[in-house]
Amino acid sequence: MAFLPSINWTAKHIPSVQELAREPLDAVPKSYVCKVADNLVADRCNPSLQVPLVNMASPVNEGESREEELQKLYLACRHGGSFQIMSNGDYEATEHRAVVNESKTAMALRSSSKAAKQTSSVQELARKLLDVAPQNYIRDVADNPVSDCCNPSLKVPLVNMANLVNGGEAQEEELHKLSSACRDWGAFQLINHTVSDELVEEMKKQTRKFYDLPLQEKMRYARTEGGLEGYGQPFENNRNPQWSDMMFLHALPVQDRNLSFWPENPQGFQETIDSYTKQMRKLAVSLLGFMSMATGLKAYKFSEVCEDGILHLRMNYYPPYPQPDQVIGCSPHTDITSISLLLELDDIPGLQIQKDGNWATVKPVPGAVDVIIGHVTEIMSNGIYKAAEHRAVVNESKVRISIICFCYPEENATVEPVQDIVKPDCPARYKSISQPEYFRSYLDEKLESKQQFIDTLKVHGPHGFSQNCT
């Protein structure tokens, strides 16, 4: 595929040894190469030993050869079979290995009853439905976070990007609106953004097509155990899983991509994701510039760290559920991003934003992108702007799909309050931390709720966490 970058095979980025083997030999990472003497295959093989052959037809068909074949099977199992425990050691587990041919590919299909649990798909569950979801998806209505819904008079602010871009008096007024939205809500809906309608429509169409594929096809991109990327259920897969599936990809910078998770079907999806995520990062940079101006800072103060920033893409699929208050699509959380840019595929509300203890439903606006401020911007603005707590609820009869771009600073950036905001009478309220360390601590924190992550970065003076001073 022409558009894909040539890959630097560091240990971190190896999607497939099959791909690696296509490269010239000197490109193989050293970590794969063993010294002959140390290599486990150096104690090669006794050619007189032959693995026993058992003919299944004989034990199955009644007849003379049956006893003989059962005896062979018994001996084969005793000396190198399985069921060691169940046979109380009469049969023993066999140590085995595979070596590599110098010129030919070998393939084997392995099935094992201990194979990692297949990631389940809520979409499939919902298809078979079901008057009731499996018990673990059901929440006590009283305990379910979605039961405290919703104050209909709360309306998430709308910001017009065209006014920001065009300058003049309209810009002043729009910057003012933007500032209030970021301070009071941490979220807003953005109209007249700069990403082309055709690209947005293509992205929507192909995401829908991807989810319409048979489960088996989607499972080609299934998340592997312990991994983050791929198709599956959201990470918070605890006692009460969320009523949703997702596809999660590291999209930018380009060298972070693991293309084995990028769907080849529908055709052209990879190219669309490539263009879409690049356009969305541009939008994020431009918007962060205006958000910076709206605090009175220079335009680049929040945006420059994101110009080559990290972008993770998540496509969420929320099947309908007849009693929506018994399940949750996406649990309440704040993002650790600079900003998150969310696209709704249809006119089906689901996203809700927390505002002063109340939840507000975001009503999809045609052509708009929902903007959610994350912890990085809260930190860089020294708390002037706040990360918005948000969640997604499920519709009782319709599928809802959303596409969210998580935009972060670039890998070598430092996450800290912008120096021009920090003054002797307004000290830094958050610690300074490198972007990689920021990710690492987030993943490592053994917090009951990841929402508390920001608390670990707060600076506490003698009188506790200081008041916002601007």
Q: Would you tell me which residues interact with ligand AKG (CB under 6 A)?
A: 314, 316, 330, 342, 350-351, 390, 392, 402, 404
Minimum distance from CB of 360 to ligand AKG (Å)? 13
Indicate left, alpha or beta for 172 from its phi (over 0: left) and psi (-120 to 50: alpha): alpha
**Which one, 305 or 330, has the nearer CB to ligand AKG?**
330
**Which one, 67 or 236, has the nearer CB to ligand AKG?**
236
**Which one, 271 or 346, has the nearer CB to ligand AKG?**
346
Rounded CA gap, 162 and 170, in Å?
A: 9
Give SS3 for 324.
helix
**Which one, 206 or 402, has the nearer CB to ligand AKG?**
402
Cis omega (within 30 of 0) for bond into 266: yes
Minimum distance from CB of 342 to ligand AKG (Å)? 6
Minimum distance from CB of 253 to ligand AKG (Å)? 21
**Which one, 393 or 428, has the nearer CB to ligand AKG?**
393
**Which one, 223 or 429, has the nearer CB to ligand AKG?**
223
What six digits make up the tokens of 224? 């592997």
Minimum distance from CB of 316 to ligand AKG (Å)? 5
Q: Are 418 and 430 in contact (CB under 8 A)?
A: no
Among the listed residues 156, 134, 201, 183, the one whose alpha carbon sits nearest the alpha carbon of residue 345 = 201
Minimum distance from CB of 314 to ligand AKG (Å)? 5
Rounded CA gap, 188 and 184, in Å?
A: 10
Rounded CA gap, 109 and 298, in Å?
A: 59
Minimum distance from CB of 466 to ligand AKG (Å)? 29
**Which one, 242 or 326, has the nearer CB to ligand AKG?**
242
Q: Residue 390 — φ and ψ, nearest 5°? A: -150, 170
Q: What residues contact residue 462 under an 8 Å CB cut-off, 6+ apart?
A: none
End-to-end CA distance of the chain: 51
Give SS3 for 371.
strand
Minimum distance from CB of 208 to ligand AKG (Å)? 15
